[in-house]
């Protein structure tokens, strides 16, 4: 015997879970991108600082 998600309830939950999953994935990607930008700026700054001193 198999359980099949045929009810409207399951479709709504699937849609909600997929939506939340995509939002979380986008958030992780954004935090990663922001980290890269900030770290790159810090490296540039320290390189400039070293060149000046």
Partner 1 sequence: MSDVGINSTIGEQEARFGDFFALLKPRVMSLVVFTALVGLLAAPVPVHPLIGFAAILFIAIGGGASGALNMWWDADIDAIMRRTRRRPIPAGKVAPADAMALGVALAVLSVTMLALATNLAAGAMLAFTIFFYVVIYSMWLKRATPQNIVIGGAAGAFPPVIGWLAATGTMAVEPWLMFALIFMWTPPHFWALCLFMRSDYDDAGVPMLTVTHGRPATRAHILVYTVLLAALAIGAGFTGIGGPVYLIVSLVLNAAFLAGALRIWRRDEVLAEADNYAVEKRFFRLSLLYLFAHFGAILVEALLRQWGLGGWG
What are the two backbone dihedrals, phi and then psi, of residue 7, each rounded to the nearest 5 degrees? Answer: -80, 150
Q: Which of 1, 2, 4, 7 binds partner 1 (CB under 8 A)?
A: 7
Q: Is there binding between residue 34 and partner 1 (CB under 8 A)?
A: yes
Nearer to partner 1, 16 or 47 (CB): 16
Q: How far is the CB of 33 from partner 1 (least distance, A)?
A: 5
What 3 state SS string does 1-53 have?
CCCCCCCHHHHHHHHHHHHHHHHHHHHHHHHHHHHHHHHHHHHHHHHHHHHHC
For binding to partner 1 (CB under 8 A), which residues are involved? 7-9, 12-13, 15-16, 18-20, 30, 33-34, 37, 41
């Amino acid at each position: 015997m198999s359980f099949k998600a045929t009810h409207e309830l399951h479709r709504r939950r699937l849609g909600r879970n997929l939506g939340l999953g995509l939002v979380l994935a986008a958030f992780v990607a954004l935090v990663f991108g922001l980290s890269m930008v900030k770290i790159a700026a810090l490296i540039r700054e320290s390189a400039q600082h070293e060149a000046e001193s």
